[in-house]
Structure 1
Amino acid sequence: MTRLIYNTATTLDGYLADDSDSLDWLFAVPGADEAESAFPAFLEGIGAMVMGSATYEWVYDHENLAAHPEKWGYGDRLSLVLTTRDLPRVAGANVRFHSGSVRDAWDELVAAAGAKDVWVVGGGDVVGQFADAGLLDEIRVSIAPATLGAGKPLLPRVLGSDRLRLESAGRAGQFAELVYSVDRPAAGPAGGSDA
């Protein structure tokens, strides 16, 4: 069965990015290379990805994909971007834009993933919409030794301890790595419509 996995890094106080959508705090953490060493193995198990427009735009700008589309680091797997706006496309990448609910996107993501999983790349509201729809299966979070005080939250929803089960805890460089399974509710409500 295809699982929906949220795999991300966060600050100690639970922010993905600062108020300007910057990830500079993440690149400043010593030992980030060690923390990223397991990423290629994780990506091998991913058949499709989904992200919000802010995440997509950050990657597009940060990697200068308009001039260097070869820097698209996700291969030919489907990357579904949730947005209601017109965004630039990465030449040669399997990027599609979706303006409906996450529940409406789910069948397309599962079909594209095949026997593999779907990765919610970001952001917090996108994964929140999938959690609201009862589709989130796993949260993998690397906690960095940094605080921002404000910014884009890790997951702006309430998920009680009755739905989360710690599967593993580890360390990679300066990062604490936690994996939680998420119990899906018996019947989830319809998801949101935009990222």
Structure 2
Amino acid sequence: MKTVYNTATSLDGYIATDDHSLEWLFAAEGDAALEEHAEFMKGVGAMVMGASTYEWTLRHESSWPYDLPTWVLTHRELPQAGGDVRLAAADSDQALRDLHREIARAAGGRDVWLVGGGGIAADLARLGLLDEVVVSIAPVTLGSGKPLLAGRADLRVQDVHRSGDFACIRYAVL
């Protein structure tokens, strides 16, 4: 079981615009990227995401698209999407460790997919709970937005390949 932050980013390191839009990504995404994502999902047993990612998904999908247990880290009340969605807050390092342990148990030996965002990824990396960062770099710059990682993480390149117009890099978190 690994905890994997698998996301797309602009060339200048943003995973969403300032207003949390991902429209830039879907304008660039191709069939190869979708196939790789489907293959990745075969190994995923549970998901975790921040409130902004969750809200974006609710706005852009007709129904909840995942059949996996999903934790949404938030301090706000959010609408339920259907499916196995659990709202949680982790107000301390210990609370985040405990929550990660619960999520890993629910994954049943499969990987935990950190969908986003960059703040959660940085916190998990800082606590030694993030194993890999898989980044698909889109052929676009945004100039500003929500950062890929909102803190330091020391990484080592494990794999680099091309998927259509995307450069894909898999890093181990040190």
Give the whole-Å Cα distance in 2 for the aligned partners of 1:182 and 1:159.
7
Q: Which residue of 1 aligns with 2:89?
A: 99
Residue 57 of structure 1 aligns with an amino acid whose one-letter code is E
Q: 1:74 aligns with which of 48, 66, 86?
A: 66
Equivalences, count: 170
Residue 38 of structure 1 aligns with an amino acid whose one-letter code is E
Q: Which residue of 2 aligns with 1:52?
A: 50
Give the alignment's TM-score, normalised by structure 2: 0.94
Please list the CA deviations of residues 33-86 of structure 1 after superposition, one character each: whole Å capped at 9, or x if unmatched. 2211111111110000000000000001111xxxx43xx2221x1100000110
Using the TM superposition, give the Cα deviation of residue 158 of structure 1 relative to its aligned residue in structure 2, in angstroms: 1.3
Residue 87 of structure 1 aligns with an amino acid whose one-letter code is L
Identity of aligned residues (%): 49
Give the whole-Å Cα distance in 2 for the aligned partners of 1:147 and 1:88.
32
Give the whole-Å Cα distance in 1 for the aligned partners of 2:100 and 2:26.
32
Using the TM superposition, give the Cα deviation of residue 102 of structure 1 relative to its aligned residue in structure 2, in angstroms: 2.0
Q: Which residue of 2 aligns with 1:125?
A: 119
Q: 1:150 aligns with which of 129, 138, 144?
A: 144
Give the whole-Å Cα distance in 1 for the aligned partners of 2:39 and 2:164.
17
Residue 134 (str. 1) matches residue 133 (str. 2): no
Using the TM superposition, give the Cα deviation of residue 4 of structure 1 relative to its aligned residue in structure 2, in angstroms: 0.6
Residue 33 of structure 1 aligns with an amino acid whose one-letter code is D
Secondary structure of the equivalent of 2:78? coil
Give the whole-Å Cα distance in 2 for the aligned partners of 1:105 and 1:115.
16
Q: Which residue of 2 aligns with 1:14?
A: 13
Unaligned runs of 5+ in 2: none
Residue 178 of structure 1 aligns with an amino acid whose one-letter code is I
Using the TM superposition, give the Cα deviation of residue 110 of structure 1 relative to its aligned residue in structure 2, in angstroms: 1.1
Give the whole-Å Cα distance in 2 for the aligned partners of 1:47 and 1:178.
22
CA RMSD of aligned residues (A): 1.1
Give the whole-Å Cα distance in 2 for the aligned partners of 1:124 and 1:24.
18
Using the TM superposition, give the Cα deviation of residue 106 of structure 1 relative to its aligned residue in structure 2, in angstroms: 1.1
Give the alignment's TM-score, normalised by structure 1: 0.84
Give the whole-Å Cα distance in 1 for the aligned partners of 2:25 and 2:123.
25
Question: 1:156-175 maps to which residues of 2 (within 5 A)?
Answer: 156-160=150-154, 164-175=155-166
Residue 104 of structure 1 aligns with an amino acid whose one-letter code is D
